[in-house]
Amino acid sequence: MSEEQDKQRNARKKENNRLLTKAAIIGVVAGLLGGGIAYGGLSAANLNSNTSSSTASSSSSNTGETGSVTTSSSGTTKVNKSTTTSGTMTSAYKKVQNAVVSVLNYKYTSSSSSSSDIYSLFGYGDSDSSSSGSSSSKKSLTLYSEGSGVIYTTANGKGYIVTNNHVISGAAKVKVILASGKTISAKVVGKDSTSDLAVLSIDSKYVTQTASFGDSSSLQSGQTVIAIGSPEGSEYASTVTQGIISSPSRTITYNSNQMTVIQTDAAINSGNSGGALVNSNGQVIGINSMKLSSSSSGDSVEGMGFAIPSNEVVTIVNQLVKKGKITRPQLGIKVAAIAELNSYYKKQLGISTSLKKGLYVVSVTSGSAAASAGIKKGDVITAADGKTVNDVATLHSILYSHNVGDKVKITVNRNGKAMTFTVTLQAGK
């Protein structure tokens, strides 16, 4: 083979290799572009379709598996009125929204003025009207505080409202602002500082909705609730906050009295007192009463609000409507719900019982009904009137269904042995 033939053959090999390489590269790129083109082609078709549609209407939507894209011919947008926003708690709120009111506490304030001298400004002026200069003194009603309330029933031409006692405490006059914004006068039917509850009445012609009470004994931790009221006053009336039941039964001390309350993390602020704690069925399961804003060490605390359980509320308000006051029978003991105590507090209280439920008797007042019957510190109350007792609210409910002087059977567990005592109820102080 001549040298010239070798050159020609090598040249043909190089050309063939170049064409094969080029074909391979084109094949790879075409494979990538092939998928892209198919995807791009579909995208282009969809885009063209949307563009065409937007010629006839202002906008259209292209919905895919991962979301949606809305296009318009002019860059404008509009509200989709077919969207539904109603949720479970919205429905619950609507069942009580017009039953929750703002409660206004008015007190008399004195004002005086005198032109005689500057000392009169501080109460040292001459009060004799014949003295030089002039002086005057008058009393006027001034808005002292604001809270919330719940209209729960109507009877005999009256609408009845439950609120907190501390909301209307010391009031010379009480008014309520209805959900409609109308302000009307209210009368105090009865109040009770121990339970921190009070009942007001208004003319029933103003009542457009009443709230119903749910069973607070059926509450569970983690259950969703909403709080409705007027935080920081009537300016924010009908404010709704949502949270959960942190504890359905928490024993606290209020005004030196033990109370069993519902603990929730639904925001409760000043002005929410007397408002409604509502379950998902739109039932009032508690009356919001207080919040813990700081610990004993001064640390800020969030999400710890408390409400009076509805079962106790019903018992108290019925007595207030009937008698105007509560004559409360009492055992004369301090107790702690065992189910609420962790091992640390059990150790602090010296509780060694293996029982998981019941009320541990922390102390017994000398000469009290319980002491006279034979109940001792360290006993665990398990039943009253034959009904199981696991929390303070239940015990209170049973006791409050009786009158002073009634005899009640109290069952306790003492060192593992069940014992029943007959207690003659005494009047509480």
Rounding to the nearest 10 degrees, give the CA dihedral for residues 191, 196, 199, 200.
90
**CA 230 vs CA 88, 167, 193, 194: distances in Å:** 22, 12, 22, 23
Which pLDDT score is estimated for 163? Answer: 97
pLDDT at residue 303 in the model: 83
**Closest alpha carbon to 165 in 255, 73, 233, 74:** 255
What value does the mean pLDDT take over residues 247-275?
Answer: 87
pLDDT at 99: 97
Alpha carbon separation from 46 to 49, 74, 112 (Å, rounded) = 5, 19, 81
The more confidently predicted of residues 86 and 294 is: 294
- 309 in helix, strand or coil? strand
Helix (H, G, I), strand (E, B) or coil at 39: helix
What are 278-304's pLDDT values in tens digits? 999 999 999 999 887 666 677 777 889
Residue pLDDT, tens place only, 217-233: 999 999 999 999 999 88
Mean pLDDT of 335-340: 89
At 57 the pLDDT is 39
The pLDDT of residue 33 is: 29
Query: Is it the case that residue 269 has pLDDT exceeding 80?
Result: yes
Domain 329-427 has CATH 2.30.42.10: yes
Give this prediction's pTM. Answer: 0.63
> What SS3 class is residue 84?
coil
Catalytic residues: 166, 196, 273
User: Residues 161-182: pLDDT tens digits?
Assistant: 999 999 999 999 999 999 999 9
Q: Any residues with CB less than 8 A from the CB of 19 and at least 6 apart, and which?
A: none
Query: What is the token pair recorded at 333?
Result: 């003991």
* Tokens coding 101: 């009111």
Residue 104 vs residue 350, higher pLDDT = 104
Domain boundary assignment for the chain: 1-40, 88-111+139-326, 329-427
243 secondary structure, DSSP code: E
Tell me, what's the pLDDT at 276?
Answer: 97
Q: What is the mean pLDDT of the chain?
A: 80
Which band of pLDDT confidence, cut at 50, 70 and 90, is reported for residue 411? Answer: very high
Residue 8 confidence (pLDDT): 62
Cα-to-chain-centroid distance, residue 358: 27
pLDDT band at residue 38 using 50, 70 and 90 as cut-offs:
very low
**pLDDT-based confidence at 394, cuts 50/70/90?**
confident
Q: Going by C-beta distance under 8 Å and a sequence separation of 6 or more, which residues neighbour residue 144?
A: 105, 106, 107, 170, 171
Q: Which of 92, 96, 89 is nearest to 209 (CA)?
A: 96
Spell out a b/e string for 262-296, using b for 16 or more CB atoms within 10 Å of the CB, else e. bbbbbbbbebbbbbbbbbeebbbbbbbbbbeeeee
Per-range mean pLDDT, top range of 37-41, 82-86, 224-228: 224-228
Q: Say whether pLDDT at 50 is over 50.
A: no
First vs last Cα of the chain: how many Å apart?
A: 131
The closest alpha carbon to 335, from 408, 295, 389, belongs to 389
pLDDT of residue 48: 35
pLDDT at 17 over 80: no
pLDDT in tens, 108-155: 987 655 444 433 333 333 444 444 445 556 788 999 999 999 999 999
- Domain 88-111+139-326 in this protein, CATH class: mainly beta
Question: How far apart (Å, rounded) are the C-alpha atoms in residues 388 and 191?
Answer: 29
Predicted confidence (pLDDT) per residue in 155-166, tens digit: 999 999 999 999
Give the pair of three-digit tokens for residue 126.
């001459």
What is the identity of the amino acid at 352? Answer: S
